[in-house]
Amino acid sequence: MAIYPGSFDPITTGHLDVIERGSRLFDRLIVSVLHNGSKSPLFSVPERIEMLTEAVAPFPNVEVDCFGGLLADYALSKDARVILRGIRAISDYENELQMALMNRRLQPGLETVFLLAGEAFSFISSRLVKEVISLGGNIGGLVPPLVEQRLRERLRAPLASSQAQ
């Protein structure tokens, strides 16, 4: 069993790519939303859980959860031995390596498995998606349709002109 942790604010097609591939590698995958009180997310944890639950519905061995505190402790509480992480670029690797080594120090039996982002998804980030839609840009194909709708409602973003054609 593996845990794929993240803020998922919001979930993107890049996240879904990692989830789909992870669901084939592990008998059970928990996609877990980090509750981090020091950040100001666009969507609440329950909203992110709701969007994730709909997005992962096609994968019967994937479930959605949330956690706060140390990921290593959360993994232990779920009897997970693997943390799944996606890497988009070399710049992601340094931070991910530090977290993986710290998690292994805290829980020596805990391994981190890195999946390289699919080529079509390597530029997508939740931050960039929010920025593009807030400026009226087209995010079609970058997030699931429900997420795009929720982003438009939350940010009062107009439909991008390239989508209207």
Q: Which of 88, 104, 152, 154 is catalytic?
A: 88
Contact at 8 Å (CB) between 127 and 6? no
> How far apart are the C-alpha atoms of 110 and 97, rounded to whole Å?
13
Q: Which of 39, 91, 156, 162 is catalytic?
A: 39
> How far apart are the C-alpha atoms of 39 and 73, rounded to whole Å?
21
Based on its alpha-carbon atoms, the radius of gyration of the chain, rounded to whole angstroms, reads 16
Grouping H, G, I as helix, E, B as strand and the rest as coil, residue 82 is strand
Q: Is 126 a catalytic residue?
A: yes
Q: Is 24 a catalytic residue?
A: no
Q: Is 35 a catalytic residue?
A: no
Contacts of 90 (CB under 8 A, 6+ apart): none
Q: Which of 7, 15, 23, 85 is catalytic?
A: 15
Q: Which of 7, 23, 32, 126 is catalytic?
A: 126
The residues that are catalytic are: 15, 39, 88, 126
